[in-house]
């Protein structure tokens, strides 16, 4: 991956709010990642298991041996060239939507961050608390600063719930889905091959349709920032 190649993707992300980069992981690397996940101890409360979803919150902390596999040379180069030298992990999730899963996710922006405690702070709110995990909507500059990498462990297209996005919507601040003017906006389906990644700004309006062909979709979702939070507040999952 040359600097020119990655610089082109950086320009696309800044313009559209997302980009797809194929062949970031080899088939062998994906196989090893899947093996580590399958062998993980799933008894902790951050593991969620149901008929239509298997998910792990604070994924990199719960499955620490995955880190060396996820952050291969390509991913490190992508973070350095597209985000910057000072970016660090602030959130990580793994989810597996199996063949029986048929979720529909309406258009939305990712408007909250995960933090270590709840504080009264100007510009931060509303708050939510779930199993001693705190989430809050921060001021807009914090959200604008975040990048998300979605690592795809399966081929994903319009038939098995690939993300659909509104290009350029990340640059319009808080954008309520009910106000989308489809005379102005366009929709794009983000096909990602197994071993590829999607990079997205969390303010990009995104959603997904129901699966129609019964193929599973496994994704590792990691968010990055280079901003320190004010006062006593800390990112709950910070990993340098």
- Asked if the structure places residue 128 within a domain, the reply is no
Does the pLDDT value for residue 80 go beyond 90? yes
Query: What's the domain range around 195?
Result: 3-104+139-225
Residue 121 falls within a domain, yes or no? Answer: no
Which pLDDT score is estimated for 206? 97
**What end-to-end distance do the CA atoms of the chain give, in Å?**
23
- What average pLDDT does range 147-172 have in this prediction? 95
The tokens for 81 are 């060239």
**Is the confidence at residue 3, as pLDDT, over 70?**
yes
Q: How much is the pLDDT for 185?
A: 97
Q: Is the pLDDT of residue 188 over 70?
A: yes
Specify the pLDDT at position 131: 73
Residue 125 lies in a domain: no
Q: What is the pLDDT of residue 124?
A: 96
Quick one: pLDDT at residue 97? 76
Confidence (pLDDT) at 102: 64
Closest listed residue to residue 53, CA positions, set 99, 90, 14: 99
Question: What's the average model confidence in pLDDT over 72-98?
Answer: 94
Percentage, residues of the chain above pLDDT 70: 96
Residue 53 has pLDDT above 80, yes or no: no
Which region among 101-105, 145-149, 212-216 has the lowest average model confidence (pLDDT)? 101-105
- Region 80-98: mean pLDDT is 93
61 lies in some domain: yes
pLDDT for 133 equals 87
CATH of the domain at 25: 2.60.120.620
The pTM of this model reads 0.94
Regarding predicted confidence, which is higher, 213 or 40? 40
Say if residue 52's pLDDT is above 70. no
Per-range mean pLDDT, top range of 28-37, 100-109, 204-213: 28-37
Residue 35 pLDDT > 80: yes
User: Which is more confident, 97 or 22?
Assistant: 22
pLDDT mean across residues, the chain? 92
The total number of structural domains in the chain stands at: 1
- Structural domain includes residue 122: no
SS3 annotation, the chain: CCHHHHHHHHHHHHHHCEEEECCCCCHHHHHHHHHHHHCCCCCCCCEEEECCEEEEECHHHHCHHHHHHHCCHHHHHHHHHHHCCCCEEEEEEEEEECCCCCCCEEEECCCCEEECCCCCCCCCCCEEEECCEEEECCCHHHHHHCEEEEEECCCECCCCCCEEECCCHHHHCCCCHHHCCCCCCCCEECCECCCCEEEECCCCCEEECCCCCCCCEEEEEEEEECCCCCCCCCECCCEC
Whether pLDDT at 108 is above 90: yes
């Amino acid at each position: 991956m040359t600097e020119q190649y990655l610089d082109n993707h950086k320009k696309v992300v800044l313009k559209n709010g997302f980009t797809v980069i194929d062949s970031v992981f080899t088939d062998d690397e994906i196989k090893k990642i899947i093996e580590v996940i399958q062998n993980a101890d799933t008894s902790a409360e951050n593991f969620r298991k149901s008929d239509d979803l298997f998910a792990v919150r604070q994924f990199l902390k719960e499955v620490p041996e995955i880190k060396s596999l996820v952050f291969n040379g390509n991913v490190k180069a992508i973070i350095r060239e597209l985000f910057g030298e000072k970016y660090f992990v602030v959130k990580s999730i793994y989810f597996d939507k199996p063949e029986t899963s048929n979720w529909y996710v309406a258009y939305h922006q990712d408007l909250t961050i995960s933090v270590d405690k709840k504080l009264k702070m100007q510009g931060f709110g509303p708050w939510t608390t779930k199993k001693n995990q705190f989430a809050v909507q921060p001021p807009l500059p914090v959200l604008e600063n975040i990048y998300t990498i979605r690592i795809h462990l399966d081929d994903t297209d319009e038939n098995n719930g690939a993300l659909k996005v509104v290009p350029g919507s990340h640059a319009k601040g808080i954008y309520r889905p009910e106000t989308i003017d489809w005379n102005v906006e366009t929709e794009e389906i983000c096909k990602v091959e197994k071993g590829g990644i999607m990079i997205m700004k969390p303010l990009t309006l995104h959603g997904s349709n129901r699966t129609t062909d019964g193929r599973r979709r496994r994704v590792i979702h990691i968010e990055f920032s280079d901003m320190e939070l004010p006062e006593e507040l800390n990112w709950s999952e910070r990993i340098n």
